[in-house]
Amino acid sequence: MARLGGLVGWALVADETASQCSGFFTGQADPGTASTFRGFREDYEATQEAVLDALADRCESEADWERAAAAATGAIEAAYAEYVERLEAMGVNPKPVC
């Protein structure tokens, strides 16, 4: 369950990243690139749905769901920690940005 949960976490992070990129390129008046990232979001959302379906088929107990949720949370927390670290390395205070 942990691997599937981690994949859910990855899909959520990837979807949010693509959303941020789409918004950025929309703001930069680059609709073609913004559209590309919207397409990525559709792919990530489809992946997330498929993994959630797989979890629904395989989770037999509340403990299975808890393991999957813990793995998803761990993946998201790791991505956020890396994001903060990169901002700090660039001299950006992550508090107002995040």
Q: Nearest CA to 70 among 5, 11, 10?
A: 5
Predicted confidence (pLDDT) per residue in 5-49, tens digit: 999 999 999 999 999 999 999 999 999 999 999 999 999 999 999
What does pLDDT average to over the chain?
Answer: 93
Determine the Cα angle at 15 with ends 38 and 68, to 5°. Answer: 155
What angle, rounded to 10 degrees, do the helices at 31-58 and 2-27 form?
160
> Could you tell me the pTM of the whole model?
0.83
Domain ranges of the chain: 2-73
